[in-house]
Amino acid sequence: MRVFISIDAEGCSGIFKISQVMAEHRDYEFCRRMMEGDANAAIRGAFNAGAIDVLVNDAHNNSDNIRIENLDPRARLVSGSAKPLSMMEGISDVFDATLLLGYHSRKKERGIIAHTYSYSGIFEIRINGRPVNEAEINGYLAGSFGVPVVFLSGDQYITDHMREIIPGIRTVVTKRAIGCAAAECVHPDVTCKRIEEGVSAALAELGKHPVKPMDDAPYILEIEFATTSHASSAIRMPGSNLSTPTTVLYKAEDYMSIYNAFLCMATLSASFDERI
């Protein structure tokens, strides 16, 4: 059994405010330790369940958060920015399962540091008319390779939502969100134990009660940006068009085209600095 892990930061154990997940802040070293702890717990759980290969993609910001010397040596680590598949770099049809660690709610929803890919530039992302979060955006990509998302960790809002979206998924609540920047947390040893056990249980059930890979083709992608200037930059993506002054629309039969269009438009829109 081969297991792919994508780990973000905002939903990890002990994280409750944005300064913790930003490299320029003094709280950032705490974030790195929490990400490493949650990742190692999932790796242990995967190998306990019989995995022969585990690939971890550091999926937060510039993807240089997890230090390889602090990672379980049985796993491989993808680090660094400008990865072709971003938060899902390394995913392929050789994997049997995807685990999403430290994920969070989308913008406009309740949860710790709720956002969708961009803290300020992107207002909402919709696939086939339905607002989606980063777990769903990445889950569809895993599904395009035939790989199901069988486990997710984060606060109670993202875990509740993903259980509705993916029947049979296992989740672990890492903290109870009180607001966007406040949470009831427990010791990371407690959450890591839960993650390890949850991952083992999720993978053990693969053969008995398989989780279906995410798929909803054909696809219509809509990205609603914060400003018209963001949208004007994003529409340089070939094949896209404006559906409203701030919303860019793109259609495709296959999800890889949708995912690449999404990454391209997100990058193009980021070139606009709303401070100037």
Q: Which two tokens stand for residue 45?
A: 């759980």
Please give the single-letter amino acid code of residue 50. Answer: G
Look at the chain and count its residues: 276
Phi, psi of 227 (to 5 degrees): -140, 165
Please give the single-letter amino acid code of residue 45. Answer: G
CA distance 40 to 63: 17
Q: Which two tokens stand for residue 193?
A: 């134990």
CB 92 within 8 Å of CB 41? no
SS3 of residue 35 by DSSP: helix
Element (H, E) at 248: strand 247-252
How many CB atoms lie under 10 A from the CB of residue 52? 11
CB 103 within 8 Å of CB 152? yes
Among this protein's residues, is 25 annotated catalytic? no
The position carrying tokens 């999932």 is 42
Q: Which of 115, 161, 209, 230 is catalytic?
A: 115
CA distance 224 to 249: 9
Give catalytic residue positions. Answer: 115
